[in-house]
Structure 1
Amino acid sequence: MDSLARQSSSTHASRIYEVLRQDILDGRFQAGEKIAINTLKERYGVGLSPLREALNKLSAYGLLMQENQRGFRIPGLSRAELDDIADMRRKLECMALDQALQLGDAEWESELLAVAHRLKRAENDQANMEHWEQLHGRFHRTLVAPCGSVWLLRFISQLHDQFDRYRRLAPENPGIRKVLDAQHHELVDLALARDTKAAVRLIDHHIVLSYEVALGAVAAD
């Protein structure tokens, strides 16, 4: 395979990785469902090589389970796993926010204000919840972005994806959702004021409340 062909295959693999990742997070596959590779080839219009590359990458990331000689499967859901994910989110995001408030500059403040404004405008757009989801993820990434650790940000991003599998499959909880939306903007105010202690307490409470929503995905577990 020449360099141009390898580049093309890598581009296709990256594209299908992002599409599959989003479909898994959106709950378009059932927890525990076996992934039929031939069906995916037809569904996404992609060749076998880039598809397998994307599937292997998703498996390494934890959004797929690879079964020996039997392909791939969507991971199941369990209360124990959700508890673990939420606990790690609390520890790592509190650490990252503490560091971010020490290191964040004026450019970061401007970016945080901008994404918070867009998130606020999207809160009532029930017809386009995927737009809100994208902005919500961007808000949380921006909030801790200046923490100074690439690995810490990487772990937090992975935990968010794992957590969102549960949250998006859980029944809606408008009461808690309203509080969570308000907390996003409280976090911005505290971050800009560099009130580290209050901001860390709030992000911890924010994750706990979101966990209460996500529990709905495993209520019978």
Structure 2
Amino acid sequence: MTLSDTVYERLRTDIVQGRFPPLQPLRLEQLKRDYGVGFSPLREALNRLQGERLVVSAAQRGFRVRSLSVAEMWDAVNSRILIEAEALRLSIDQGGDDWEATLVASFHALSLIVQRLGTGAADGADTAALEELERRHREFHLALISACGSTWLLDFAAKLNTETERYRVLALRCATLRRERDVGAEHRAILDAALARDPERAADLLDAHYRETGHFLEQVLQDAGTAAS
């Protein structure tokens, strides 16, 4: 991994995890001090992040973190449904024993940390625990589609996952998380449908799961006052 790759990964994580909030300017001088690198790898990393829609730039004003909005959140959620529902159907059709084993293991790992944190996410949980929860959540959803056989679908899915992760992290840090939703049961239902080799049921459950998440994230954005008009 090159120095530019390392800076890119660190910046990307810090943006997704909310250490740099939406609309915050990303000053090269400050980033140089914070990350201990020169301007060249920083500019390269920021340009890559701009291509991923995590940062934006303007003439004479430099880079800043991209804003969060209800409209863009729903665009990402709906796009994930289109991409991942088809990738899940293909995975169910093509996945073998190794795919099933990876899927079951990723679900188990996610379930363990959910149990430790409480119902989905515990208020006051430390940053490291919430980051681990999000990592295992991401790995479960990527495991579902990992046998689709299409690098394009997997690439699109990974980018959309990153985009929606910014919103999920905001929700995890929100003190007013709804308790009535059983996300674990939703994940279990998707898993069971996938293992039963029922592609249409699995895709429908994934669709419903993402739409329910979208409605929740919309509420969080509105409560946090970050929704765009």
TM-score by length of 2: 0.86
Find the counterpart in structure 1 of residue 146 from structure 2: 145
Q: Distance in 1 between matches of 2:206 and 2:18?
A: 26
Find the counterpart in structure 2 of residue 88 from structure 1: 79
1:68 pairs with 2:59? yes
State the shift of 1:217 in Å.
4.1
Find the counterpart in structure 1 of residue 158 from structure 2: 157
Find the counterpart in structure 2 of residue 197 from structure 1: 200
Find the counterpart in structure 2 of residue 7 from structure 1: none
Q: What amino acid sits opposite 1:114 in the alignment? A: A
Contact 1:167 1:217 survives alignment (8 Å): no
User: 1:51 is paired with a residue of what secondary structure?
Assistant: helix
From 97, 101, 125, give the equivalent of 2:88. 97
Q: Distance in 2 between matches of 1:89 and 1:104?
A: 20
1:54 pairs with 2:45? yes
User: 1:175 is paired with a residue of what secondary structure?
Assistant: coil
Q: Distance in 1 between matches of 2:80 and 2:179?
A: 22
Q: Percent identity?
A: 37
Contact 1:180 1:210 survives alignment (8 Å): no
State the shift of 1:208 in Å.
0.8
Q: Which has the higher contact order (CA 8 A, sep 6+)?
A: 2
State the shift of 1:43 in Å.
1.0
Q: Name the stretch that deviates more: 44-53 or 205-214.
A: 44-53
From 163, 173, 179, give the equivalent of 2:177. 173
Q: Name the stretch that deviates more: 55-64 or 119-128.
A: 119-128
State the shift of 1:87 in Å.
1.3
Find the counterpart in structure 1 of residue 212 from structure 2: 209
Find the counterpart in structure 2 of residue 5 from structure 1: none
Structure 1 unmatched ranges of 5 or more: 1-9
Judging by fraction of residues, say which structure has more helix.
Answer: 1
Q: Distance in 2 between matches of 1:117 and 1:79?
A: 32
Q: Distance in 2 between matches of 1:183 and 1:194?
A: 17
Cα displacement string for residues 152-183 of structure 1 (whole angstroms, at most 9, x for unaligned residues): 1111111111112122213352425x522221
TM-score by length of 1: 0.89
Q: What amino acid sits opposite 1:68 in the alignment? A: A
- What is the number of equivalent residue pairs in this alignment? 211
The root-mean-square deviation of aligned C-alpha atoms, in Å, is: 1.6
